[in-house]
Amino acid sequence: MASYLITGCAGFIGSHLTEKLLEQGNYVVGIDNFDSFYGRSIKERNLSTALKMQNFTFYELDLKNAEALNKIEDRVDVIIHLAAKAGVLPSLKDPIAYINDNIIATQNLLNFCKERAIKKFIFASSSSIYGNNKSIPFRETDSVEQPISTYAATKKACELLTHTAHHLYKTDVINLRFFTVFGPRQRPDLAIHKFVKLIDEGKEIAMYGDGSTGRDYTFVNDTVQGIIGACQYIHDNSSVYEIVNLGNNQPVKLSELIATIEKVMNKKAAIKQMAMQPGDVDITFAGIEKAKKLFGYSPATSLEEGISHFVKWYNEQKA
């Protein structure tokens, strides 16, 4: 049993991770500011199961405000930093907000880590950091010097800041690069959620590009399994600084994604083809050998199975 601080605990991935660590008997301190990127009521619902559990303490606070972190009284062994403004396109419209919520907030948390002598730090990075990488699958050793969105650039900056903390304060760090996570509670701005909602409502869906772009969709339970594997690894080892992909190793074309959603929903989509959006990469494809080797990571959920879970959740929460 360990004590975890999870930032972004009311979000999509954070709420699943929080519940899993609580179920396993760990103590969890959760932080979230209910950022307005999407509705507060959705995040409150995400958090409702965790809030009923005794081994959970929640702080509504904003990581941009360093002093707010002084409210935390609990002892913490490991920080899992998931809080961020996510999303590529909105980061082009408001880059300063992304710099504040992603970079400034992360440095505040690293300072907190140092002040409280917390030695283990896991950070949620992103596949978008690879930009339009030509070599596939993407490997952790590939150059990531050419991000094509502000969002990706903030994630790269945070990976650099975690390295500095590792060097100066001997903080053990794992940067996990997530690849298009999906499943129940998925953010409403992401493709699968948007498509299912629009198809359900009989509305047109926008397909950006000709349908040939590929994404390495990863089911949220598999991502959570990978994060917990990283927790075990960072607990068992010292002098750790690692960057590790957590993807599915099976990119799916956008046209194939839409066909799978149609099959699961048993409903045809009305598709409107649009130009590719700025900041969007052509393909994401995770090499996951390192995650397998270090954490025993082994994603097990097929796209169709994962979409079925999502559609079931979507129908339940809509009712």
Ligand X SMILES: NC(=O)c1ccc[n+]([C@@H]2O[C@H](COP(=O)([O-])OP(=O)(O)OC[C@H]3O[C@@H](n4cnc5c(N)ncnc54)[C@H](O)[C@@H]3O)[C@@H](O)[C@H]2O)c1
Nearest approach, Cβ of residue 81 and ligand X (Å): 8
Give me the catalytic one of 151, 233, 297, 314.
Answer: 151
Q: Does 8 bind ligand X (CB under 6 A)?
A: yes
Tokens in use for 212? 């040939």
Phi, psi of 154 (to 5 degrees): -70, -35
Query: Is-catalytic flag, 217?
Result: no
Considering only 18, 27, 28, 32, the residue that binds ligand X (CB under 6 A) is 32
Q: Which is nearer to ligand X, 9 or 165 (CB)?
A: 9
Q: Does 181 bind ligand X (CB under 6 A)?
A: yes
Q: Does 88 bind ligand X (CB under 6 A)?
A: no
Q: Does 82 bind ligand X (CB under 6 A)?
A: yes
Q: Does 193 bind ligand X (CB under 6 A)?
A: no
Region binding ligand X by CB under 6 A among candidate stretches 58-66, 88-96, 229-237, 257-265: 58-66
Q: Which is nearer to ligand X, 33 or 260 (CB)?
A: 33
Q: Does 62 bind ligand X (CB under 6 A)?
A: yes
Q: Does 35 bind ligand X (CB under 6 A)?
A: yes
Considering only 4, 11, 18, 265, the residue that binds ligand X (CB under 6 A) is 11
Region binding ligand X by CB under 6 A among candidate stretches 28-36, 225-233, 302-310, 311-319: 28-36
- Catalytic amino acids? 151
Contact set with ligand X (CB under 6 A):
7-8, 10-14, 31-35, 37, 43, 62-64, 82-86, 101, 105, 124, 126, 178, 180-181, 187
